[in-house]
Amino acid sequence: MNDELLALVGAWIAADPDENDRATVEQLLNCGDESEIHRRFDEPLTFGTAGLRGPVMAGPAGMNRSTVRRASQGVIAWLHELGIDPLRGVVVGRDARHGSEAFNDEVVAVLLGAGVRVYEMPRPLPTPLTAYALQFLGAAAGIMITASHNPAADNGFKLYGPDGSQIIAPNDVIVERYASAAGAAVLAERTSPLFHAVDEGVLESYREHMTSRFGVASSELGIAYTPLHGVGGEFMSGLFTRAGFERVAIVEEQFRPNPEFPGLPFPNPEEAGVLDAGFATAEKNGATLLIANDPDADRLGAAVQRRDGSWRILRGDEIGWLLGSVALAAAQDDDVVATTIVSSSMLEKMAARAGVSYATTLTGFKWITKAAPGRRLIFGYEEALGFAVDPCVADKDGVSAALALARLAHDLSLHGLTLLDRLDELEERYGVHAGAQLSLRASPLRGREVLSAVMTRVRATPPTSLGGVGVSEVIDLETGWNGLAPTEGLIWRLGSTGRVVVRPSGTEPKLKAYVEVVGGLSPGDVSAARESANVTLGAVLDELSRILALDD
């Protein structure tokens, strides 16, 4: 181990406020475990998708009290650089993951010690409520301790700016610069006059607003709901009842927060098998709609029972079309809807027919919520189960989206229809839009290196055809495109047949390919059109899996 690394490790130990973390690193030094020291110190966590996210462990590459303390100091210095009055306050929230309470306490202590007013959420709550409280209180920023749908070993530090939405460049770079240079922090207790617990009235105003928008007098619709061992359970179940949905069956074994997420290696509604317990509860209770939130309840997953009793899991794009159809029907002048470059192209067609402005953004809600400067974003979504159905939350919100989807399902049920009938109607009108995602996971140890090598290779030699369909255009997003900021990714257009977007994940060591195949159809023949489009989709995915194979 070289002297430079030894000095770095020694400095970390000296500054680390956590006795157990200090002991862990000291033990690694004493044992001469150089590979583990390198894993924890070579690549520190840096501000990426609106903050930090990584495994809970000692050292700069992990989420720990020291990392959180430095990040909090970075936020304070960033606010000073922007000239924002710290007395506007920072809203601090947390989920129920391992370390969340301790990390939350660090944030509060550091902010108070620096003379920043603090509004602390009263208990572990869904991420969207922190975003809502920020706007409601007119605070300067918001910090949410969460790793969303990541595995149980992870945690994170999510940062919202003065506009209520996730930060983007150059703010992330500024925070990172100050955090990396942070020295000893001054700490203060909650006895400080600058400390305020977020009043229950703030949460009540959210409930009142969303139930007035999406509630019904009374509904007989059978719904099953699971929060996947996250923080959405108590809040969401109460909201369903208040909104008039009286037949909601809770997946009891997944209702209470549990940071281990038992039985769910990846607590994400998109992952195979994650909804199995929900299906069992739905069938036991005669429910025809299954709704799931991820652990911090900012995402929404759903499945609908077919008339033959089988279940169809809705893709994020399909939920986006359903919720988008409602938003577009109620749109006013100057309203905007938005989705990302990796989402389906159908929303754009729907908006054009409705005469409503539409925007395409880069991937992630930090871009979606900034798609309509000076105008009202009435709906935004990303295919990864993120939906914004109300401007009072400038981020994805799986809580209000769940209510909005339940309301639509209820309204359709009054006419003997289901969400699947509405999807048929939309695809008969705008054409079948078959979609799928290819996700290739790299080893965490060499993730960045492997993904970079694959992107370099396919950028140099892009395919000329995929699944028997010619590639008509190659777009390198690294140089910017259609007014969007440069980002790592490629678009391969397949003429009028569809497109493929290839990009590395911003939060995990994954390479992702997003495929859409568009097919025309004759009215009333949506099933045949879907079958044909899915054949092409499968052929494209098969070829992509060979082209994008990771040398891991």
Res. 308 pLDDT band, cuts 50 70 90: very high
pLDDT mean over 145-166: 96
Q: What is the pLDDT of residues 402-432, one digit of tens each?
A: 999 999 999 999 999 999 999 999 999 999 9
Q: State the pairing for strand pair 335-340/432-441.
A: unpaired
* pLDDT given for residue 509 in this prediction: 79
pLDDT mean over 446-474: 91
Res. 507 pLDDT band, cuts 50 70 90: low
The Cα–Cα gap between 289 and 277 comes to: 13
CB-based burial, 357-390: b 16+ in 10 Å, e otherwise: bbbbbbbbbbbbbbbbeeeebbbbbbbbbbbbbb
CB-based burial, 74-85: b 16+ in 10 Å, e otherwise: bbbbbbeeeeee
465: annotated active-site residue? no
CB atoms within 10 A of CB 529: 18
CB atoms within 10 A of CB 273: 10
523 pLDDT more than 80 = no
* pLDDT given for residue 441 in this prediction: 82
Same-domain pairing of 272 and 299? yes
Round to the nearest angstrom and report the end-to-end CA distance of the chain. 26
3-state secondary structure of 177: helix
| Single pTM value for the model | 0.95
Structure tokens at 456: 């370099």
Nearest to 107 by CA among 131, 132, 141, 154: 141
* pLDDT given for residue 321 in this prediction: 98
Res. 552 pLDDT band, cuts 50 70 90: low
Min mean pLDDT across 440-449, 467-476, 508-517 is at 440-449
3-state SS of 337-350?
Answer: EEEECCCCCHHHHH
Q: Please tell me what DSSP assigns to residue 207.
A: H
CATH of residue 454: 3.30.310.50
The one catalytic residue in 66, 72, 100, 148 is 148
Containing structural domain, residue 542: 432-547
457 pLDDT more than 70 = yes
Same-domain pairing of 63 and 140? yes
The Cα–Cα gap between 552 and 546 comes to: 14
pLDDT mean over 177-201: 97
The Cα–Cα gap between 101 and 175 comes to: 22
The Cα–Cα gap between 289 and 82 comes to: 46
pLDDT mean over 482-503: 94
Same-domain pairing of 54 and 179? yes
pLDDT mean over 294-323: 98
User: Is the omega angle on the peptide bond into residue 227 within 30 degrees of 0, that is, cis?
Assistant: no
Average pLDDT score over the chain: 95
Please tell me the total count of domains within the chain: 4
Structure tokens at 212: 């007035």
- Rounded to the nearest 5°, which phi and psi values hold at 517? -120, 125
Question: Is 76 contained in some domain?
Answer: yes
Same-domain pairing of 503 and 424? no
Structure tokens at 199: 């009043």
522 pLDDT more than 70 = no
Question: Is 495 contained in some domain?
Answer: yes
Question: Is 381 contained in some domain?
Answer: yes
The Cα–Cα gap between 159 and 144 comes to: 7
Same-domain pairing of 437 and 415? no
Q: Please tell me what DSSP assigns to residue 484.
A: B
Question: Is 10 contained in some domain?
Answer: no
Q: What is the pLDDT of residues 347-404, one digit of tens each?
A: 999 999 999 999 999 999 999 999 999 999 999 999 999 999 999 999 999 999 999 9
* pLDDT given for residue 48 in this prediction: 74
Q: How far is CA 182 from CA 12, 20, 93, 178, in A?
A: 12, 22, 23, 6
Same-domain pairing of 76 and 50? yes
Q: What is the pLDDT of residues 217-261, one digit of tens each?
A: 999 999 999 999 999 999 999 999 999 999 999 999 999 999 999
Same-domain pairing of 321 and 295? no
Question: Is 518 contained in some domain?
Answer: yes
Structure tokens at 141: 């920023």
Q: State the pairing for strand pair 195-197/118-120.
A: parallel
* pLDDT given for residue 445 in this prediction: 64
Nearest to 296 by CA among 129, 543, 110: 129
- Rounded to the nearest 5°, which phi and psi values hold at 460? -75, -35
52 pLDDT more than 70 = yes
50 pLDDT more than 90 = no
Same-domain pairing of 471 and 329? no
The Cα–Cα gap between 509 and 532 comes to: 33
* pLDDT given for residue 550 in this prediction: 79
Res. 49 pLDDT band, cuts 50 70 90: low
Decide which of 249, 280, 312 is a domain's last residue: 312
Nearest to 319 by CA among 228, 412, 423, 236: 423
- Rounded to the nearest 5°, which phi and psi values hold at 273? 85, -10
The Cα–Cα gap between 477 and 155 comes to: 29
The Cα–Cα gap between 81 and 73 comes to: 12
207 pLDDT more than 70 = yes
Structure tokens at 418: 């289901």
Same-domain pairing of 339 and 361? yes
1 pLDDT more than 90 = no
The Cα–Cα gap between 297 and 96 comes to: 12
The Cα–Cα gap between 308 and 290 comes to: 16
Decide which of 145, 168, 198 is a domain's last residue: 198
The Cα–Cα gap between 233 and 387 comes to: 18
Res. 521 pLDDT band, cuts 50 70 90: low
Question: Is 384 contained in some domain?
Answer: yes
Q: State the pairing for strand pair 118-120/90-94.
A: parallel
CATH of residue 143: 3.40.120.10
Question: Is 362 contained in some domain?
Answer: yes
Same-domain pairing of 232 and 351? no
Same-domain pairing of 61 and 166? yes
* pLDDT given for residue 382 in this prediction: 97
The Cα–Cα gap between 378 and 329 comes to: 11
CB distance 62 to 444 below 8 Å:
no
Share of the chain above pLDDT 70, in %: 98
What is the residue-wise DSSP string for 26-93? HHHHHHT-HHHHHHHHSS-----SSEEEEEB-SSTTSBSHHHHHHHHHHHHHHHHHHT--GGG-EEEE
Cβ-based neighbours of 547, under 8 Å, separated by 6 or more: 458, 463
Decide which of 397, 428, 459 is a domain's last residue: 428
What does the radius of gyration of the chain's CA atoms come to, in whole angstroms? 24
CB-based burial, 440-452: b 16+ in 10 Å, e otherwise: bebeeeebeebbe
Which run of H or of E encompasses 440?
A: strand 432-441
284 pLDDT more than 70 = yes
30 pLDDT more than 80 = yes
CB distance 384 to 299 below 8 Å:
yes
Question: Is 552 contained in some domain?
Answer: no
Q: Please tell me what DSSP assigns to residue 265.
A: S
Same-domain pairing of 305 and 320? no
Strand partners, 336: 357, 377
The Cα–Cα gap between 526 and 496 comes to: 18
